[in-house]
């Protein structure tokens, strides 16, 4: 039998994390947690949200989550052949599943709207 990893993902939106989902994914040494999550999305459940841009260059810094309670980048944390608990960051506004609001405040839609309202007096 081939070796697998089990990813247990906290699910929900807007801070209401009501459930967890567990997914069994194939494991190859050296893979990242993000590799595992991308496998989940393409093969098991596309509704799982994990924010990422660069995939493996570790330049965008968007994929920060908690892996077994520790803050880490999903793209550099190693996948391990066991159960791993994945949760969103605890100190940022929660959007969906593993995604939190990581954009700088002045680059968000809300900021642009507020700035416009102010300019219009």
Partner 1 sequence: MEKGARVSQDLVHFETDVLVIGSGAAGMAAALSAGGAGASVIIADRSLIGRSGATIMAQMTVAVALGSQTPDASEFHLADTLKAGRDLCEPSLSSLVCEEGPQDILKLDEWRVGWARNEDGSIRQAHAPGHDRPRCVYVDFLSTGPAVAKTLRGRVLREKGVTRIGDLYITDLTVTDGVVTGAVGFSMADGRAITIAAGAVVLATGGLTRLYGRNSASANMAGDGFALALRAGAELIDMEFVQFFPIGHLAPRLVGMDPIMWDPFRYKLGGKLLNAEFREFVNDYGNEEEGRYNVTRDRATFAILSEVKAGRGSPAGGAYLSFQHIPEADLRAAFGPVIDRLAANGIDLTQMPIEVAPIAHYHMGGVRVNRAMETTVPGLYAAGEVNGGSNGANRLSGNAITEALVFGRHAGESAARFARGTGRTAGAPQAALDLVTATTGVETENYAGDIEELQKVMADLVGPFRTEAGLTEALARIAAIKARLGALPPGVPGLYDMARLDWFDLRTMLEVAEMVTRSALARKESRGAHQRDDFPLMDPAYVLHHRVRRAGDAIVLDRVPVEGSTLVEVA
Using CB under 8 A, pick the residue from 19, 107, 117, 120 that binds partner 1: 107
Q: Work out whether 103 is an interface residue with partner 1 (CB under 8 A).
A: yes
Using CB under 6 A, pick the residue from 20, 22, 54, 92 that binds ligand FES: 54
- CA–CA dist 30, 13 (Å, integer): 31
Tokens of 61: 């810094």
- CA–CA dist 50, 34 (Å, integer): 8
Least Å distance, CB 2 to partner 1, is 16
Residues 66/86, Cβ–Cβ less than 8 Å: yes
Q: Work out whether 63 is an interface residue with ligand FES (CB under 6 A).
A: yes
Residues 7-46 that bind ligand FES (CB under 6 A): none
Tokens of 91: 């100190």
Which residues in this chain contact ligand FES in the complex, by CB under 6 A? 52-55, 58-63, 73, 75
């Amino acid at each position: 039998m081939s070796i697998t990893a089990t990813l247990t993902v906290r699910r929900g939106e807007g801070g209401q994390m009501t459930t967890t989902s567990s997914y069994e994914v194939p494991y190859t040494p050296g893979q990242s947690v993000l590799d595992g999550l991308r496998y989940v999305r393409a093969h098991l459940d596309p509704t799982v949200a994990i924010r990422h841009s660069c995939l493996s260059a570790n330049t965008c810094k968007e994929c920060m989550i908690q892996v077994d309670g520790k803050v880490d980048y999903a793209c550099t944390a190693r996948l391990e052949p066991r159960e791993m608990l994945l949760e969103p960051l605890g100190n940022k506004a929660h959007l969906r599943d593993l995604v939190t609001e990581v954009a700088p405040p002045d680059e968000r839609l809300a900021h642009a709207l507020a700035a416009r309202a102010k300019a219009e007096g």
